[in-house]
Amino acid sequence: MDILYVILGYVGALAIGIVLGLIGGGGSILTVPVLVYLLAIEPVIATAYSLFIVGTTSLVGAIKNIKKKLVDFRTALVFAAPAFIAVYATRKYLVPAIPEEIFTIGGFTLTKDVGIMIFFAIIMLLAAISMIRGRKENGETEEQEVTYNYPLIVLEGAVVGVLTGIVGAGGGFLIIPALVLLAKLPMKKAVATSLLIIAIKSLIGFIGDVENLEIEWQFLLSFTAISVVGIFIGIWLNKFIEGSKLKKSFGWFVLIMGVYIILKELL
């Protein structure tokens, strides 16, 4: 492997953490492209590694939010339970069950690796639209009583778990609106609580991979450590740069990346 790509890959690890520290989410969507296109890791293994990296970095953020008393533990457990069951089952059973050649039309064959990358790119496009449109703050200053729409929370948690299991991304752009709409959490608490949910379901999902795949722990731990360092740099930069203003620009970058991945894989 070209040493330049290896260096760029580790710079990418730092960038993932910085973005997470600056804007509080979205950085994890870069993890799989960095692993696949810069470090030449197979997509199935890249999505597994991404679960560990995303889970660990989210846990660091969640711990900081717990200290600030912004995390609603009951809501996190209600949402995380169906999510981690779904993500574990997806990594343990669904992903290994996908055939190496999904279908063939004419001279084009959709392979498992290409299919995963295209599906990942679609999730990137959805995340990009969410970041570009931005979140509307609910403007609440008083603590609202948290109420639960249990059937919808269980369904949403399971759907997010399956998506996370397939693409290895955190899915914060799906979780945060669900916490606001279905659990009536204020926006700040929803953002903080989503990090704990992402950490739980990503790390438990990764356990399903440990049982199926051969993990290069030295590489994975070093990459994750650099990403965690990036989070602290991002949090420090947040004192000088308003992260919310960067989110829309980052959303456009993710949109372009998503389109690039689709074109690269298909053409």
pLDDT digits (tens, 9 = 90+) for 138-196: 544 445 566 677 788 888 889 989 988 898 877 777 788 888 888 888 888 888 888 89
**Arithmetic mean of pLDDT, 24-49:** 87
- Give the pLDDT of residue 137: 53
How many residues comprise the chain? 267
Place of tokens 């997470």: 20
Q: Which two tokens stand for residue 22?
A: 């600056």
Count of C-beta atoms within a 10 Å radius of residue 9: 20
Q: What is the pTM for the complete model shown? A: 0.85
Q: Say if residues 19 and 26 touch (Cβ distance below 8 Å).
A: yes
